[in-house]
Structure 1
Amino acid sequence: MKVLHIIPSVAKVRGGPSQAVIEMVTALRSQGVDAEIVTTNDNGKELLDVPLNKQTTQLEEYGNVPIRFFPRFSPNINAVREFAYSGALTTWLWQHITEYNIIHVHAIFSYTSTVAMAIARIKNIPYINRPLGQLCEWSLQQSQLRKQIYLNVIERSNLLHSQSLHFTAEQEKEEFHQLGLNIPNFVLPHGVHIPTIIPNAQEQLHKILQIPDHIPIILFMSRIHPKKGLEYLIPALGKLKTADFALAIAGSGEPDYVNHIQDLLAEHQISDRTYWVGFVQGETKNLYLQGVDLFALTSHSENFGIAAIEALASGTPVLVTDGVAIAPMVKKQDLGYVTKLEIEAITSTIQRFLASAQVAKQKGDRAQQYIAEHYSWAKIADSLMNIYTKYAKL
């Protein structure tokens, strides 16, 4: 079976969805599925330095999976640039899409995904769509008028002709149903790699950051973006004037917004206990996920929350807001703390965490076992293969 995954970008600046599609294709290929990726050289305001207009399997940064990059139209107009228009990608899809049994499209409201679904319809190739949370209430409220027009005039027909929609959490599916669109769908979470245990990870991390061993470390690891709720987490921590804690921020974002967050840290007087570690990956990322005491994602909306799942797989309890789609699972399995996206509520939840380190550790220990049992990539890939078999044109 030949499966083509199409996504506007696999750049790290685009966060979890880009990482997920590479890991998904890797897992599928390990089980014998001939899966590959088509995308653009989008990298936010910049462009990726990658081979264009041809398939490559030699890029370690992208998992060494078969991937084709096409040039993105890059005018100095943010809305047009973000749309990820690519004439070369369009031409290639028109010429080659019939070579595949099924198309797995990731994202909506982007030229790349929209044109892929349209061409698949014309060529009578079945496709499924993973909306990446863009049909959730919070996302639809951003640039609301433009998205409503786009959805009603263009994307609605694409979605209605899809074989199915791929949601990664029940909460994402429930929010979609509010739109009243009668489209088949399924819920299948992202997988996660269960990391190798790093001996004395907490001791190592405290030493690297030069933080006394008795001070718990709270980790924010994600894109530094307004969606992620740092404007709530920072004031919440600022209220804990007498508490011992350190905040580690791992990620990158637009310079203007990063400056805003730095100003916010100063305003709430926690700059001196905040550690900026930048974008981390590989063993360094594993060390942070295993070496901290609490992972915090106080986001407005997440259709999944990949970094939070990775933290749980590392044995670290999480603090998530109810807009993060895995929040019901975290609460039901008691793998961390779930709170409202309110400063006072977040402060109160962190106080509970700080008051009982042993309870937090027990949550983390449960999390590691639960994630290993339910979120392995092998398990997810096996489920995807069954779905493809159901819908593919063979």
Structure 2
Amino acid sequence: MKILHIIPSVASVRGGPSQAVPETVKALRNQGIAAEIATTNDNGNDLLDVPLNQCTEYQEVPIWFFSRFSPEVNSIREFAFSSQLTSWLWQNAANYDLLHIHAIFSYTSTVAMAIARFKGIPYILSPLGQLCEWSLQQSARKKQIYLQLIEKPNLNHSQYIHFTSELEQQEASRLNLISPSFILPHGTAIPNNIPNARHRLRQHLKLPTDEPIILFLSRLHPKKGLDYLIPALEKLSDYRFTLVLAGAGSPEYETEVKSLLVSHGIQNRTHFTGFVKGEMKDLLMQGADLFTLTSYSENFGVAVMEALAAGVPVVVTPGVAVADIVAQDHLGYVAELDVAAIAASIQQALDHPQEIKEMGDRARQFILENYTWDSVASKLISVYQDIIESQIFLLSANINDK
């Protein structure tokens, strides 16, 4: 079985889904599937320094990188146009049994689906939350035109649409798509344990050893709800805590966030780390007391699951698709997207450190038992096999009819 995953970018700055695809491919290959990735060299405003037009070992998986068109106009650059990728897909897509295409409203994904349709290659689409209500409301007119003229036919010709949560599937159902769908969450990598992570993190940040740390670790973007989290923390001025903001976004939005911290009087209680990865990311996750993601909309919530895997309870809002899991299994708190409600949940956590510790222990065990990449890959392989076998059956039936 030979599978090609196609995504506009695997750069860390693009957030959880761009990291989830290489992890998926790695787990598939560990189970004997010849899986590869085709993508651009996109890296946000920059470009990845990688070999182009050849298969490269990157993040421990084979990836074909192609040049992204990079004009000064941001909206065109974000569309991830690549003539090299187009030519390569046209010549090579038929060498794979199945294409697994990630994201919509991007040239990379759109052209991959169009080529697959023209050549009769089966494909699955993972929309990565872009069919959720909040996402469709952003640049709504452009997206509605694009959806009706281009993406809806592509969506309706896919063998399956892959959603990562019931919430994502429910919100997409309003579009009345005809392709069948299935729900399969992302897996979660279990981080290596860092001895004395709590003490080491406080040493690194030059904080007292008993200082409560509240962590936000995600891409800095308006949908992440920092305009609710920061005012909520202002309400807790009588409590000891340090907020760690770990992430990067557009320069304009980073300036907006820093202004919010000043206007709500918590800039002196906040560490702004910028984008983190590797050991520093693990140290933040394992050394924090509480993880927060108060988003308007998340089709899954990769960072939330990473925090739970590190044994850190969370505060999330209902727009984060894994909120139901958090509530049902008592892995943290689910607060309405409301300043007072978020403040109350964080206050509850700060008031009950023993309860927080028990939640964290339960969270790590929950991830180990339910959300490893190997278990996700096994389920995905079953879907691939069903599609490929049905295609073989249809081809055989057509030959016999002739």
- Shorter-chain TM range is over 0.9
Question: Secondary structure at 1:132's aligned position in 2?
Answer: coil
Corresponding residue for 1:38? 38
Corresponding residue for 2:144? 148
Corresponding residue for 1:98? 94
Structure 2 distance, partners of 1:208, 1:83, is 39
List structure 1 runs of 4+ shifted beyond 3 angstroms. none
Match of 1:344 among 323, 337, 340: 340
Corresponding residue for 1:191? 187
Structure 1 distance, partners of 2:9, 2:153, is 23
Correspondence list, 1:34-113, <5 A: 34-57=34-57, 59=58, 63-113=59-109
Corresponding residue for 2:20? 20
Unaligned stretches of 5+ residues in structure 1: none
Matching of residue 323 in structure 1 with residue 322 in structure 2? no
Unaligned stretches of 5+ residues in structure 2: 393-402
Deviation at 1:22, TM superposition (A): 0.6
Corresponding residue for 2:396? none
Match of 1:125 among 118, 121, 127: 121
Question: Secondary structure at 2:111's aligned position in 1?
Answer: helix
Match of 2:6, as an amino acid? Answer: I
Deviation at 1:328, TM superposition (A): 0.6
Corresponding residue for 1:335? 331
Structure 1 distance, partners of 2:116, 2:232, is 48
Correspondence list, 1:1-394, <5 A: 1-57=1-57, 59=58, 63-392=59-388, 393=391
Q: Deviations over 1:326-346 (max 9, x none)?
A: 001111111001011111111
Structure 1 distance, partners of 2:97, 2:6, is 14
Q: Deviations over 1:218-270 (max 9, x none)?
A: 00000111111111111110111111111011111111211111111111111
Structure 2 distance, partners of 1:5, 1:28, is 11
Deviation at 1:274, TM superposition (A): 0.4
State the percentage of identical aligned residues: 58
Deviation at 1:41, TM superposition (A): 1.1
Deviation at 1:208, TM superposition (A): 1.2
State the TM-score, normalized to the length of structure 2: 0.95
Q: Deviations over 1:90-143 (max 9, x none)?
A: 111010010000000000011100110110011111000000000000000000
Deviation at 1:197, TM superposition (A): 2.1
Match of 1:48, as an amino acid? Answer: L
Deviation at 1:310, TM superposition (A): 0.5
Q: How many residues align?
A: 390
Question: Secondary structure at 1:52's aligned position in 2?
Answer: coil
Moved more, 141-150 or 246-255: 246-255
